[in-house]
């Protein structure tokens, strides 16, 4: 049952094949068994069981709230959850319990979704590995998959097998791992430069970043307000569309959301792609791109072409400036957004009471990790009066050029862009941490980050397994607010590629029983 | 639009105050006034500043002062600028604080329509150009009562620019001349107020009250077109009246709804402007002019003694009567301005640019607001002068006191007495009583109706004006009684009985033959004495004109 897609399990709930409480308990028990993945910072067991119970009552009365009623979900720990600790994986917010729900969380709960817990991330979502949080790194479930383990056996490896585990990517690594490990059917991530799509690609799940302004940011603890978007992680494109239908629309609490109402929708199935024009941006053919990813990318292009779609090479000439421009804008907004963490109203406060200034300084030194402090420092430098024109204003201008690149391409008749999501498959942790956070982020975000500059919708869809047995994702980028069309194309593509389900039988190291997951996974394969 | 405001203190009197505070053994008695000039090394007598300052000795430089103002007016609105918390003065600490006001992470600003309308109204009343597109910025600094670590303001593109404010100063003693002056308005911007820090020195702790945090402010920036504390104070007073007339701010300085910072510098006319200081938190009407003048004095004194003026922030110590450097504002602040990413540009429309089919609730139409602007103080004063034949200074006085105009208009409505009479009664007697007892108009024990009734009695000569004053005193003391009741209780009505009055005159003449003789000898003042004696004998109930008539008839040869 856990291996099913959201749509399937929703049908099972409606048909009474399983009750919300049973489903919730199964997920809770799997969360416990997969605790070593470190996907969750907080497991809200009591709340979840209570919500499941209420959902069950509704089903019994025949008053289900809809497709999400009784569905276990997880939420990245940078979304405010009323009464549930929200830490951003930072010492600064350890123990902080928001008194309100983020709009997206509230909308999911209003639909009857069951909140399993809050997922792990890089501190304040600053990172691309989910390795730089106060609660430790997230481990990629694929590290323990049959597919990956079998490939590993062919090679000699170190004595300590567990040290070979892979990173999830980030910063929404906890959400990606939670979905990939079947502990929930959908999870919320956030996406500022690729933080939803990157871990989705590494964990073999669907990672969707909606258009900026389509989904409310109220309650999402910001990284870069002008680029942040709540992201959706699911195992199928269809499931992402269901969740999007529940979340999209104007929020009076977020002035940057669209004014027009958005109606819930069902994603129709695309049968004919011959009228589509797929753009392949030539600048995305980066030298660092692994051969394998490159070959999946061209195979995907060929697939569209063979089905009659027009596939053309396009140019996004300012792509190479994106990362450095993002660095200026991101750190500047970070410097500003982090100013509120001073230990006065909430969060961590140091013991120093000599003066208010000394208290601020010590609180912030103790509360933030090096990555956050480094970005605050850089951002404040860029915002100084003497630097503002040279850095911030310039970066904003470049941002406009980058956004215009996309506009031009879409105006030329391209429906979606097809690109890689990441350079390669997930890296082993020990390899990943050799580079510092900034270098890694700069490398890992290159395909995903320009999209945030332009506010466009994008989705990473798992394509196939690499030679190492690791998932590879490809990204589709759509026109602003054409999120449904984008998902429709992604859904068609997903159907063609038939990405394999994770086989997690080795996940249970006690080997005491035949893995339930194994059974479930094989069951779900039939679907 | 002329919006003159009369400056009541004559300049010399004002200077006396400033001199007491700024006086020193160097004999500084510089004139800081309309001429805003003085001579170096002058040892003038403070009480005669105008005269001395105009006597320019050869080779001596005059000083000119330049004063600009930044005025923060709290917007009168039900809720805060970006949150739904109520706005209320003197509520229990931290009882009006939303999650946004406390800067809980993830909260976002949502612009209050009423505050935008207030800014547009104020901009229009101050002859500003209203920007159809304006932007919000973040201004960063760490302070305990600024929870987000930044203030949302409008640094780059404010909602209104390029306006003007006219105010009037009164020159000389009676008859005084009213001079209208204009100060340019650079801009009006919408921004958030901060919370309040309460320093407990004893326990060395600071308490924070966030009730005020996030309340909408209009920052009105006045160009340095003023030259003394007096002008600044008068301009501020006129602005205050305009804001109150518009209802965009209660603008009560005592409650902190109107706060003034002044930029002050001095220079020699014809030379470049001097280094300026900022005098912060001039939050009392009483000390506004004084603080600015004392800062001008200080700067002149520093320069004359060969010292430099530092570009610094100072505050006025009202006990010492001079400005002091502010310790916590030391060091240069870089506010690291940045666009507020959570608020889209603020777009306003006029009837021409309004897109068809828009929901009026979703947009603000400048023309619509313009058409509904209430009467402004300058227009009110003009109307009073035209309609009731008031003197300009009377029209100023009537507007200067909160509620006085309304009181006056209510009296006018109910009385047959001449408007000039009503004006005089309201401004002299009624206002005099209020001032004496330090009461506001709405605290007056005398209602407009009873004053109107009293003036009616006076108008139809039922009582004398002396008796009327007596009745007024009675009214003030004993609430609930009508003027007519008092008149009959105290037997204050004028004697209508001609025979009795003749008799009274006769008796007085009989009793004071010496005075009668004086009259007959041609002493013109003697008859007044007789009139006074008759009035006394009639307990002031007789009409002096009638008495005089009788006496003259009886005394005529």
Helix (H/G/I), strand (E/B), else coil: B160: strand
A368 and chain B in contact, CB less than 8 A: no
pLDDT tens digit string along B91-140? 999 999 999 999 999 999 999 999 999 999 999 999 999 999 999 999 99
Helices (H) and strands (E) in chain B, counts: 18, 16
Q: How far is CA A358 from CA A364, B141, B146, in A?
A: 10, 15, 17
Report chain B residues whose CB lies below 8 A from the CB of A356: 144, 206
DSSP secondary structure string, A35-72?
GGG--EEEE-HHHHHHHHHHHHHHHHTT---STTTT-E
Q: How far is CA A27 from CA A23, A49, A114, A165, A504, in A?
A: 6, 11, 11, 23, 15
Closest partner residue to A342 (CB to CB) among B111, B142, B206 is B142
Question: Which run of H or of E encompasses B168?
Answer: strand B160-171
* Residue B16 pLDDT > 50: no
What is the average per-residue pLDDT within B31-58?
A: 36
From A171, A190, A322, A524, the catalytic residue: A171
Closest partner residue to B341 (CB to CB) among A226, A344, A384 is A226
Task: Could you please state the CATH topology (level 3) that the domain comprising A6-150+164-273+427-497 is classified under.
Answer: Amidase signature (AS) enzymes (3.90.1300)
Q: What is the mean pLDDT of chain A?
A: 92
The better pLDDT of the pair A50, A511 is held by: A50
pLDDT at B31: 37
Domain segments of chain A as ranges: 6-150+164-273+427-497
CA distance B142 to A341: 11
Q: Do B149 and A336 touch (CB under 8 A)?
A: yes
Binned at pLDDT 50, 70 and 90, residue A321 comes out as: very high
* Residue B54 pLDDT > 80: no
SS3 content of chain A, % helix, strand, coil (to 5): 45, 15, 40
pLDDT at B330: 56
pLDDT at B447: 92
Give the angle subtended at the CA of B14 by the CAs of B11 and B15, to the nearest 5°: 90
Count interface pairs A-B at CB distance under 8 A: 99
Q: What is the mean pLDDT of chain B?
A: 85
Token pair listed for A33: 């068994």
- Which residue, B451, B386, B464, is CA-closest to B413? B451
Cα Rg of chain B, angstroms: 30
Please, which residues bridge with residue B196 across strands?
A: B209
pLDDT at B154: 98
Helices (H) and strands (E) in chain A, counts: 19, 11
ipTM over 0.90: yes
Cis, peptide link before residue B175, omega less than 30° from 0: yes
Closest partner residue to B334 (CB to CB) among A252, A336, A385 is A385
Q: How far is CA B423 from CA B275, B389, B395, B436, in A?
A: 47, 9, 9, 19
Question: Which run of H or of E encompasses B352?
Answer: none
- Which residue, A283, A281, A279, is CA-closest to A320? A283
List of residues 6+ apart from B505 with CB closer than 8 A? B530, B534, B547, B550, B551, B554
Binned at pLDDT 50, 70 and 90, residue A516 comes out as: very low
Question: Mean pLDDT lowest for which of A464-473, B154-163, B200-209?
Answer: B200-209
CA distance A315 to A414: 11
Report chain B residues whose CB lies below 8 A from the CB of A342: 142, 144, 147, 149
- Which residue, A457, A419, A429, A424, is CA-closest to A443? A424
Helix (H/G/I), strand (E/B), else coil: B521: coil
Assess contact for A480 and A403: CB atoms under 8 A.
no
pLDDT at B545: 82
pLDDT at B485: 87
Helix (H/G/I), strand (E/B), else coil: B509: helix
pLDDT at B51: 30
pLDDT at B134: 98
A107: Cα within 13 Å, side-chain hemisphere: 22
Assess contact for A204 and A504: CB atoms under 8 A.
no
A336 and chain B in contact, CB less than 8 A: yes
* Residue B295 pLDDT > 50: yes
Q: Where are the beta strands (DSSP E) in B193-330?
A: 196-200, 205-209, 216-226, 258-267, 277-282, 313-317, 322-325
B interface with A, Cβ–Cβ below 8 Å:
99, 102-111, 138, 140, 142, 144, 147-150, 206, 208, 334, 336-338, 341-344, 362
Chain centroid to Cα B377, Å, comes to 11
Token pair listed for A195: 């933080």
CA distance A512 to A520: 17
Q: How far is CA A384 from CA A379, A389, B337, B500, in A?
A: 9, 9, 8, 92
Binned at pLDDT 50, 70 and 90, residue A156 comes out as: low
Q: How many residues in total does chain B contain? A: 557
Determine the angle formed by the axes of helices B404-414 and B392-400, rounding to 10 degrees: 110
What is the average per-residue pLDDT within B285-294?
A: 90
pLDDT at A319: 94
Report chain A residues whose CB lies below 8 A from the CB of B142: 339, 342, 357, 360
Chain centroid to Cα A445, Å, comes to 13
Binned at pLDDT 50, 70 and 90, residue A155 comes out as: low
pLDDT at A153: 73
Please, which residues bridge with residue B313 across strands?
A: B278
Domains within chain B, CATH numbers bracketed: 64-339 (no CATH), 377-490 (no CATH), 498-555 (1.10.10.410)
Assess contact for A174 and A77: CB atoms under 8 A.
yes
CA distance A450 to A460: 14
Token pair listed for A318: 């300012």
pLDDT at A473: 97
Cα Rg of chain A, angstroms: 22
3-state helix/strand/coil string of A232-283: EEECCHHHHHHHHHHHECCECCECCCCCCCCCCCCCCCCCCCCCCEEEEEHH
pLDDT at B2: 40
Binned at pLDDT 50, 70 and 90, residue A199 comes out as: very high
Binned at pLDDT 50, 70 and 90, residue B224 comes out as: very high
CA distance B528 to B538: 15
* Residue B14 pLDDT > 50: no
What is the average per-residue pLDDT within B249-272?
A: 94
From A195, A332, A441, A524, the catalytic residue: A195
* Most confident among A506-510, B107-111, B473-477 (mean pLDDT): B107-111
Q: Do A99 and B104 touch (CB under 8 A)?
A: yes
Q: Do B106 and A98 touch (CB under 8 A)?
A: yes
DSSP A143: G
The better pLDDT of the pair B401, B478 is held by: B401
* Most confident among B315-329, B381-395, B482-496 (mean pLDDT): B381-395
Give the angle subtended at the CA of B186 by the CAs of B182 and B187, to the nearest 5°: 125
- Which residue, A523, A447, A510, A461, is CA-closest to A489? A461
Give the angle subtended at the CA of A347 by the CAs of A345 and A353, to the nearest 5°: 70
pLDDT at A162: 62
Question: Mean pLDDT lowest for which of A338-342, A520-524, B274-278?
Answer: A520-524
Please, which residues bridge with residue B151 across strands?
A: B139
> Could you count the other beta carbons within 10 Å of the beta carbon of residue B492?
22
CA distance B538 to A277: 111
The better pLDDT of the pair B543, A186 is held by: A186
Place of tokens 């208010």: A356
CA distance A315 to B534: 110
- Supply φ then ψ for residue B467, to 5 degrees: -65, -35
Binned at pLDDT 50, 70 and 90, residue A397 comes out as: very high
Q: Do A346 and B104 touch (CB under 8 A)?
A: yes
* Residue A521 pLDDT > 60: no
Question: Mean pLDDT lowest for which of A310-314, A437-441, B345-349, B458-462?
Answer: A437-441
CA distance B283 to B329: 18
Assess contact for A198 and A442: CB atoms under 8 A.
no
The better pLDDT of the pair B313, A381 is held by: A381
pLDDT at A392: 97
Report chain B residues whose CB lies below 8 A from the CB of A221: 105-106
* Residue B318 pLDDT > 60: yes
DSSP A338: G
Assess contact for B230 and B289: CB atoms under 8 A.
yes
List of residues 6+ apart from A161 with CB closer than 8 A? none
CA distance B295 to B63: 13
pLDDT at B498: 81
CA distance B244 to B239: 9
Q: Do A340 and B334 touch (CB under 8 A)?
A: no
What is the average per-residue pLDDT within B457-478?
A: 87
Question: Which run of H or of E encompasses B442?
Answer: none
Chain centroid to Cα A475, Å, comes to 13
Whole-number percent of chain A with pLDDT over 90? 84
CA distance A416 to B291: 66
Binned at pLDDT 50, 70 and 90, residue A443 comes out as: confident
Burial class (CB in 10 A: 0-12, 13-18, 19+), B433: middle
CA distance A344 to A325: 33
Binned at pLDDT 50, 70 and 90, residue B333 comes out as: confident
Report chain B residues whose CB lies below 8 A from the CB of A217: 106, 108
Report chain A residues whose CB lies below 8 A from the CB of B208: 344
Binned at pLDDT 50, 70 and 90, residue A524 comes out as: very low
Whether residue A190 lies in the annotated active site: no
Q: Chain A interface, mutation test: which of B341, B343, B344, most A Cβ atoms within 10 Å? A: B341
What is the average per-residue pLDDT within A454-475?
A: 96
* Residue A470 pLDDT > 80: yes
pLDDT at B170: 73
pLDDT at B30: 37
Give the angle subtended at the CA of A89 by the CAs of A86 and A93, to the nearest 5°: 50
Q: Do B108 and A221 touch (CB under 8 A)?
A: no
Whether residue A76 lies in the annotated active site: yes
From A10, A44, A55, A76, the catalytic residue: A76
Assess contact for A326 and A192: CB atoms under 8 A.
no
List of residues 6+ apart from A109 with CB closer than 8 A? A51, A101, A115
Whole-number percent of chain B with pLDDT over 70? 87
Binned at pLDDT 50, 70 and 90, residue B490 comes out as: confident
pLDDT at B358: 81
Binned at pLDDT 50, 70 and 90, residue B75 comes out as: very high
Token pair listed for B413: 């409505």
Closest partner residue to A219 (CB to CB) among B102, B106, B110 is B106
DSSP secondary structure string, B20-62?
HHH--TT------SSS---BTT----TT-HHHHHH-PPTT--B
Task: Work out the minimum CA distance from B343 to partner chain A, whole angstroms.
Answer: 6
């Amino acid at each position: 049952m856990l291996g099913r897609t959201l749509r399937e399990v929703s049908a099972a709930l409606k048909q009474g094949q399983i009750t919300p409480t049973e489903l919730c308990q199964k997920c809770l028990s799997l969360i416990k068994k997969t605790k070593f993945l470190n996907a969750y910072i907080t497991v809200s067991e009591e709340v979840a069981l209570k919500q499941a119970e209420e959902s069950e009552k509704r089903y019994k009365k025949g008053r289900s709230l809809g497709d999400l009623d009784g569905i276990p979900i997880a939420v990245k720990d940078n979304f405010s959850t009323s009464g549930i600790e929200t830490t951003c994986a930072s010492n600064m917010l350890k123990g902080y319990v928001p008194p309100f729900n983020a709009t997206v969380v509230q909308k999911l709960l209003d639909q009857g979704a069951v909140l399993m817990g809050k997922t792990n991330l890089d501190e304040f979502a600053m990172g691309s590995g989910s390795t730089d949080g106060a609660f430790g790194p997230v481990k990629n479930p694929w590290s323990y998959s049959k597919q990956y383990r079998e490939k590993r056996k062919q090679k000699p490896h170190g004595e300590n097998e567990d040290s070979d585990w892979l990173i999830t990517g980030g910063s929404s690594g906890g959400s990606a791992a939670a979905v990939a490990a079947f502990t929930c059917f959908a999870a919320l991530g956030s996406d500022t430069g690729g933080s939803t799509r990157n871990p989705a690609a590494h964990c073999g799940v669907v990672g969707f970043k909606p258009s900026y302004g389509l989904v409310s940011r109220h309650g999402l603890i910001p990284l870069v307000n002008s680029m942040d978007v709540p992201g959706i992680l699911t195992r199928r494109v269809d499931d992402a569309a269901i969740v999007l239908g529940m979340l999209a629309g104007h929020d009076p609490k977020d002035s940057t959301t669209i004014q027009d109402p958005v109606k819930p929708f069902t994603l129709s199935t695309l049968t004919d792609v011959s009228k589509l024009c797929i753009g392949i941006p030539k600048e995305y053919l980066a030298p660092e791109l692994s051969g394998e990813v490159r070959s999946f990318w061209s195979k995907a292009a060929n697939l569209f072409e063979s089905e009659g779609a027009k596939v053309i090479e396009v140019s996004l000439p300012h792509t190479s400036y994106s990362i450095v421009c993002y660095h200026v804008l991101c750190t500047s907004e970070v410097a500003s957004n982090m100013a509120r963490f001073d230990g006065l109203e909430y969060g961590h406060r140091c013991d120093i009471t000599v003066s208010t200034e000394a208290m601020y300084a010590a609180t912030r030194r103790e509360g933030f990790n090096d990555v956050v402090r480094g970005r605050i420092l850089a951002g404040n430098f860029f915002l100084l009066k003497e630097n503002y024109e040279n850095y911030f204003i310039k970066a904003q201008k470049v941002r406009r050029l980058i956004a215009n690149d996309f506009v031009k391409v879409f105006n030329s008749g391209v429906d979606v862009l097809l690109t890689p999501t990441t350079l390669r498959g997930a890296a082993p942790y020990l390899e990943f941490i050799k580079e510092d956070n900034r270098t890694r982020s700069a490398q890992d975000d290159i395909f995903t980050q320009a999209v945030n500059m332009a506010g466009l919708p994008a989705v990473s869809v798992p394509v196939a397994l690499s030679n190492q047995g690791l998932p590879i994702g490809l990204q589709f980028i759509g026109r602003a607010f054409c999120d449904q069309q984008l998902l429709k194309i992604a859904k068609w593509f997903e159907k063609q590629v038939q990405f394999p389900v994770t086989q997690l039988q080795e996940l249970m190291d006690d080997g005491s029983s035949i893995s339930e997951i194994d059974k479930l996974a094989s069951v779900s394969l039939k679907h | 639009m002329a919006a003159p405001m009369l400056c009541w203190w004559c300049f010399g009197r004002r200077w006396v105050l400033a001199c007491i505070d700024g006086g020193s053994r160097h004999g500084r008695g510089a004139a800081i006034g309309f001429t805003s000039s003085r001579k170096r090394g002058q040892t003038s007598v403070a009480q005669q500043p105008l005269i001395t300052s105009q006597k320019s000795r050869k080779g001596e430089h005059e000083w000119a002062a330049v004063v600009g103002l930044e005025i923060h007016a709290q917007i009168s609105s039900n809720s805060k600028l970006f949150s739904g918390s109520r706005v209320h003065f003197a509520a229990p600490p931290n009882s009006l604080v939303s999650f946004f006001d406390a800067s809980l992470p993830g909260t976002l600003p949502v612009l209050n329509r009423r505050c935008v309308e207030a800014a547009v109204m104020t901009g229009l009343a101050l002859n500003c150009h209203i920007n159809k597109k304006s932007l919000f910025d973040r201004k960063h600094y760490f302070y305990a009562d600024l929870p987000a670590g930044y203030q949302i303001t409008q640094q780059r593109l404010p909602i209104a620019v390029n306006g003007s404010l006219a105010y009037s100063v009164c020159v000389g003693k009676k008859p005084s001349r009213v001079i209208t002056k204009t100060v340019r308005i650079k801009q009006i911007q919408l921004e958030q107020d901060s919370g309040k820090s309460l320093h407990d020195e004893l326990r060395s702790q600071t308490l924070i009250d966030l009730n005020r945090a996030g309340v909408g402010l209009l920052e009105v920036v006045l160009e340095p077109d003023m030259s003394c504390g007096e002008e600044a104070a008068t301009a501020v007073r006129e602005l205050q009246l305009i804001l109150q007339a518009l209802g965009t701010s209660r603008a009560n300085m005592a409650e902190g709804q109107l706060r003034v910072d002044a930029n002050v510098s001095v220079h020699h006319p014809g030379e470049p402007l001097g280094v300026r200081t900022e005098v912060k938190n001039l939050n009392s009407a009483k000390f506004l002019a004084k603080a600015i003048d004392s800062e001008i004095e200080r700067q002149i004194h520093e320069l004359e003694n060969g010292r430099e003026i530092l570009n610094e922030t100072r505050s006025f110590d009202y006990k010492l009567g001079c400005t002091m450097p502010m310790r916590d504002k030391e060091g240069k602040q870089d506010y690291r301005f940045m666009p507020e990413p959570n608020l889209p540009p603020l777009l306003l429309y006029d009837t021409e640019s309004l897109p068809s089919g828009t929901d009026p609730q979703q947009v603000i139409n400048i023309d619509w607001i313009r058409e509904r602007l209430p009467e402004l103080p300058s227009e009110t004063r003009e109307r009073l002068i035209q309609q009731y034949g008031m003197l300009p200074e009377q029209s100023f006085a009537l507007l200067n006191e909160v509620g006085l105009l309304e009181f006056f208009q209510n009296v006018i409505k109910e009385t047959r007495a001449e408007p000039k009479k009503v004006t005089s009664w309201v401004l002299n007697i009624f206002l005099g009583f209020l001032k004496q007892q330090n009461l506001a108009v709405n605290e007056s024990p005398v209602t407009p109706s009873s004053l109107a009734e009293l003036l009616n009695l006076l108008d139809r000569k039922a009582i004398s004006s002396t008796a009327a004053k007596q009745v007024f005193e009675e009214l003030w003391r004993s609430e609930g009684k009508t003027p007519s009741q008092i008149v009959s209780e105290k037997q204050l009505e004028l004697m209508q009985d001609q025979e009795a009055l003749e008799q009274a005159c006769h008796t007085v003449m009989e009793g004071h033959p010496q005075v009668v003789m004086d009259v007959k000898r041609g002493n013109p003042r003697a008859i007044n004495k007789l009139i006074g004696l008759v009035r006394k004998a009639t307990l002031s109930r007789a009409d002096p004109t009638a008495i005089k008539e009788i006496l003259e008839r009886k005394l005529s040869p």
